[in-house]
Structure 1
């Protein structure tokens, strides 16, 4: 039975064994995703590429083609300049463990393809994996990739493309003039450091123990230039002005500085806080002012009427002075005389009374 299965796996790939290359087997944790690059010859540049799933060629089912839209499960991109098609499988489940085929559609004849095996494991059970399949670096700098593995096999770092791995590094060395150093100090992890990076260092690499591979795409580009905005300080001198003959001239010097972006943001924030304080305060002052004016007007309406209509009143006190006996004898024939003292109490009101009002004098006469 094993021989029968092997025949079905090998025969479909015979036509593409020298024209298509890809990984042989990868392991992925459940819920994760995997990117698989397939390299092809120039004769397939304009052909439709597709991914299908199945143990054998005759039961392989189509999943996605380069002339179709991507789905949430599968996506594909074809880089014709590098003669490379990349298939991405997302949200892998245990049931997705299977053989997949990277195929080139041929209209007149059987399609050409290359198969690879995807094994989906439980959390933490992947045999070989990396933290990320996409790494970006800058020319002249260095990048670091950690390859995690299980088992005692020796892990290597290789670059692939075209017919397959072109060169590998086990401990240290160079790949296409890019310096590679491998650190094995941490059990279960090899740390790959690529230094002296250049633009041609970009491409697909993978960690491999010969049975398993984990592809990693490296992108090297120019470091973006940072623009430094210089702060310009301008000094303006105003000539002294003589105000009078006794005043001394004063030299006014003003220094204006263009604010930076951070200063502008700070000033804007301070202005916003200041406005949020001033506006409620102005409203409060307006309310208090209106309340005071209203109270004053109401109080004025309720105040007693002025004394303009009141008449001027004069009060007097009359005192009867009894004469002595001698005075009575001498003046028996004279009539009694009454004396009175009149006190005029002036009103505090300075307003003049109306012409029709008359002054009234009140007096009290007491006869003894």
Structure 2
């Protein structure tokens, strides 16, 4: 079994040319990375794409998921060949694995031009499965495919490539169109993991900063799945958060704020959302802003709430940017936290919020 996996992985890397990146390290507020990212945003707003890409690329390499997303967008928009699209997908994948939901969707967007309908015959079973993931990701209900594609784009170390998932995508693609790689896809291992195997894989993924693992630990807690050892799941998330995996902290904040009634703890939710935001998780900053607005876990602080929404916007939350645009539009100055309503709408539109695109044209 092992030689087959190594052969597939070798083909995948050799043909597609992907040098996997390590999981994104968490950054702190005293790190200059956010200032570099803001410089990229300023250049992007001014239409200076190359300068913006340089700034975003630096911030991405320093560990800021939002910068990886923005760099991926520019790479995708200026792509002229398949290698360019792969490079963009890799940028998106890095951000997706760190918990940027927008980047997960964009991973499929970047892989779209490489779909079977628009690409030469892909080489290798892994590449074939990757394109199948990208194809599913671009259609409604394909969220899991987006995340799986992002994981496959960067996975080379433990816990190893999920060949069971790869096989499922490959076989679905084979039902639509016969490929020379269908036989290889059928030979990949199938079956399901035990609950313990699943937990340990998710725990390892989460501990190394991969959002898919953290989210998988959270899901049964939110749904109160029968037979799940809640304490074990929570301990795994807490351990990852202690190691400054931002998405693990954000997931704990979500659990204590929107989980089962018996688990809700405003103080804990406030604390963990703050940790997630401190690690530059956009959705944690937005949720933390809402908590300040409503006084959840602490006193009401509307000024701080707006500041946090603005921070979530610059970290790539389209919902936060749209909200900031509304706040700015209702203010006397037409700005909020120093950002004009038009600029907030532009950012929201750029991040995929289509309603903001039409609002900006009115």
**TM-score, normalised with respect to structure 1:** 0.23
Relative to its length, the structure with more helix (as a share) is: 2
Relative to its length, the structure with more strand (as a share) is: 1
